[in-house]
Amino acid sequence: MSRSLRKTLLLILALMVIAALLYGLRGSIHYRGFSWSKLGDAIRGARLDLLILSLVAIYVCYWLRGVRWKQLSRHVGPMGLWSVYAATLMGFLAIVLFGRAGEPVRPLLIARREQLSVSAMFGIYVVERVFDIAITILMTGWTLVYLPDLLRERESTDGTLNSASMLPLLQKAGFVLFAGLAVATIFLVYLSVTRGGVLGKAMVRWHHAPGWRKTAAKIFAGFLEGLQALRTWSDLATATALTAAHWALVLAIYIWVPQSFGGRLGTFNLRDAVVTLSCTMLGSTLQLPGIGGGSWVGSFLAMTLFLGVASEPAMAAAVTLWLITFTGCSIVGIPLLLREGMSFGELRRIAKEKDAADPAQPQ
């Protein structure tokens, strides 16, 4: 097979995957007064330069994730940045294909490619998730600061929202989020400094226990191993800076993509992006009755309910954000997967793998 034909087939395959994902969205929105013709007008009027810039930016985000993973793993063993970057793209492709069940693929691929401890890579994955969850909490807290004013603005324009009844609840929610982040941070520092503390001593006995206790002990050991990635203040500062850079670029994408559609979306600013991104992250974990679930639903509801965007351009922006930030990895991820000689079935098998063999240990 010639190289040009192979590239053409790969491009067609990538487009088919994206088309299948779009097809799955059909009928998911049942919004009163929604006009598909207006949606078409919004899409046709979009600025292609901002959309291309956003697509390039999301690949920079994946690169920053690779750099962060390499930095967190430097006490575990050496690894190549390109290898980690490729595994990151394939890992996120697994999430696109299999949902949350695909999340173990990335640490498993990195462990196999770099011949490192599987448990250590899962520990790094947990630490990485802690950083991202912390950003999510901060972003949500920031949104709760903005939301009262947004609700008052919406109430003054259409009179449909009763902000007074929601403000006390929002204030309590913000307090709980920030308090939870502070407690979690203190607890993680305690575990890192004491090598597990009281919990670590209890887990030592569980290593020889049957059933779920042994599994829990293995997971906790891997988590502690991952925490050792932050041995110095310099390690913590570097990981924090990379996390901040990654999410700052994501926020930029959440400004550029809406702005590309013009109109009310053309005035999208940092405040609007923070609110939309927060709702997107919430939507990625929820299923909404009668509407569906997923991150794009959260984006759509944030724009229509809180930011006063008409439903048609909001739908166009929400789905485009979803395609770029969630499924965009498939453009390069699928060719990488095929280059590795792996099929979707192999990826599914890795995703379902429970007790992976540790390649760093003798078999």
Task: Give the tens place of pLDDT for each residue, 20-33.
Answer: 544 444 444 444 44
Domain membership flag for residue 177? yes
Burial tier of 233 (Cβ tally within 10 Å: 0-12, 13-18, 19+) = exposed
| 293 φ, ψ (degrees, to nearest 5) | -145, 180
Domain membership flag for residue 273? yes
67 vs 150, more confident:
67
3-state secondary structure of 32: coil
Percent of the chain with pLDDT over 70: 65
Residue 169 has pLDDT above 70, yes or no: no
What pLDDT band is residue 281 in, cutting at 50, 70 and 90? Answer: confident
**pLDDT at site 115:** 84
- Whose tokens are 């569906």? That residue is 292
Domain membership flag for residue 5? no
Residue 129: which domain range?
38-352
Domain membership flag for residue 327? yes
**pLDDT at site 288:** 42
Mean pLDDT computed over 218-231 = 72
The token pair at 326 is: 């969630």
pLDDT tens for residues 256-276?
999 988 888 888 998 889 888
Q: How far apart are CA 148 and CA 141, in angstroms?
A: 12
Domain membership flag for residue 202? yes
Domain membership flag for residue 361? no
Domain membership flag for residue 304? yes
Q: How far apart are CA 244 and CA 239, in angstroms?
A: 9
How many secondary structure helices (H) and strands (E) does the chain include?
Answer: 15, 2
Number of domains in the chain: 1
Mean pLDDT computed over 204-224 = 71
| 77 φ, ψ (degrees, to nearest 5) | 170, 165
The H or E element containing residue 293 is: strand 292-293
- Vertex 196 angle, CA 191 and 199, to 5°: 115
Amino acid sitting at position 102: G
Residue 53 has pLDDT above 70, yes or no: yes
Q: Which of 73-77, 85-89, 260-264 has the highest mean pLDDT?
A: 85-89
**pLDDT at site 286:** 55
Amino acid sitting at position 231: R
Question: Over the chain, what is the mean pLDDT?
Answer: 74
**pLDDT at site 102:** 77
Domain membership flag for residue 19? no
Q: How far apart are CA 100 and CA 94, in angstroms?
A: 9
**pLDDT at site 193:** 73
